[in-house]
Amino acid sequence: MKKTVNTFKLIVFIFLLFAIACNTGSFYSKTLDMEGTWKRSDTVVFCVNIPDAGHHFNFYIDIRNNTDYRYSNLYVFLHSEFPNGNITHDTLEFILAKKDGEWIGKGMGNVKENNILIRPNLIFPDTGTYCFTMEQAMRVEELQGIEDIGIRIEKAEQK
């Protein structure tokens, strides 16, 4: 019995070490499951509370696609709403495959993950809630092969 308890404690300890080592220091991270299809009408919204203005952040878009995705790129409309009510609109293109068809993302099997830095050293000008809305901007109503879409905001080192 004592040997089983010690083995269990060792496994828990190793798991905790692994979990701590894998922590990327994300300030905010959220991914939404698109279930393999991103419809043009399906907007995804991420709202982030920024308690202190003036800090530097790296802003990422996280995309998981499967190998059934028919395109080498992905166009996305990104709408950013600031706490003061101002809204900005960006059209972003993400390259997911090389010209020869080889997938760029990480992953084994038929799912590839891309973590794309879109705004390094971003400074949020105001405190409060920022909402980021994304919609797919491809020329098809239903975009097959997109598994997940998300954003990640990490604290950046100030230079």
Candidates 116, 46, 131; CA nearest to 80 is 131
The verdict on residue 4 lying in a domain is no
The predicted-structure confidence for 12-55, as pLDDT tens digits, reads as follows 344 433 433 444 568 999 999 999 999 999 999 999 999 988 88
For the question of whether the overall pTM of this predicted structure is more than 0.85, the answer is no
Say if CB 90 and CB 81 are below 8 A apart.
no
The predicted-structure confidence for 71-115, as pLDDT tens digits, reads as follows 999 999 999 999 999 999 999 999 999 999 999 999 989 999 999
The verdict on residue 117 lying in a domain is yes
Residue indicated by tokens 């828990």: 12
The verdict on residue 87 lying in a domain is yes
Structurally, the chain folds into a number of domains equal to 1
For residue 48, the domain's CATH number is 2.60.120
The verdict on residue 110 lying in a domain is yes
The range of the structural domain enclosing residue 108 comes to 26-155
The verdict on residue 7 lying in a domain is no
The verdict on residue 18 lying in a domain is no
How far apart (Å, rounded) are the C-alpha atoms in residues 142 and 135? 12
Output the DSSP codes for 75-130.
Answer: EEEEEEE-TTS-EEEEEEEEE-B-TTS-B-SB-STTEEEEEEEEEEEEE-SSSEEE
